[in-house]
Chains A and B, each alone.
Chain A
Amino acid sequence: QSALTQEASVSGTVGQKVTLSCTGNSNNIGTYAVGWYQQISHGAPKTVMFGNSLPSGIPDRFSGSRSGTTASLTISGLQPEDEADYYCSTWDYGLSLVVFGGGTKLTVL
């Protein structure tokens, strides 16, 4: 069982806006920056958001936010190439560990 909770699967149609969530607690998401990673077909993961920063080369249809102990990754204007597994991670100071979510499989219909 992962320390951070993500939806197992989310789907959307091309052009739709979808939001993926990552829920933790005050020791982790409530305090520290969250990273979001895209993994296509079990290739190397790629960062699509760290903190609230968009890495260079990542389209601005990706955005991140946090409310309390839940972080969210929003994709506005979903594209077929966005179909992938998405993971979140951050630091947990109570456990002194980096914690990951179990991943969300995003399907573009």
Chain B
Amino acid sequence: EVQVVESGGGLVQPGGSLRLSCAASGFTFSSYAMAWVRQAPGKGLEWVSVIGGSIGSTYYADSMRGRFTISRDNSKNTVYLLMNSLRADDTAVYYCVKDGPYSGYGDFDYWGQGTLVTVSS
């Protein structure tokens, strides 16, 4: 059974940093891209970043590029999201998602339960 489990959310002050982790199981982790998607309160889903499987190419949404860094450790079946220079509008539930088997990214097939990040003083 495929599982993705996020951790690391919490309350952080504006300008601060936070690292999210996502532990995956039930599939050959290194063969699949992994991504982060967030949802601000009352808003729709917003893609954050994606990292390829074996080669590990990375891509970011425009508003996160330069502040967020996605990485993965295939030996630990874990993907990370390091978030720096956090702003109030980064407050959201952050979901870890597994990419599907088809070409390109964005056809996600499994979602975690999410971890809440609150940026506030």
Q: A: which residues have CB within 8 A of B?
A: 2, 31-35, 37, 39, 42, 44-47, 50-51, 53, 55, 85, 87, 89-91, 93, 96-100, 102-103
Contacts and interface: CB of A to CB of B under 8 A. Distances in A.
Contacts of A97: 47, 59, 61-62
A99 B102 CA distance: 16
Nearest to A34: B107
Contacts of B47: 89, 97-100
Interface of B: 35, 37, 39, 44-47, 50, 59, 61-62, 95, 100-114
A51 B107 contact: yes
Contacts, number: 88
A58 to B, nearest CB: 11
Nearest to B109: A50
A35 B109 CA distance: 8
A89 B33 CA distance: 15
Contacts of B44: 2, 85, 87, 100, 102-103
B46 A33 contact: no
Given A97-B61, A98-B35, A32 B45 contact: no
B102 A33 contact: yes
18 contacts: A32-B107, A33-B100, A33-B106, A35-B109, A37-B108, A37-B111, A44-B112, A45-B37, A45-B45, A47-B111, A51-B100, A51-B102, A89-B106, A89-B107, A89-B108, A90-B106, A91-B107, A98-B105
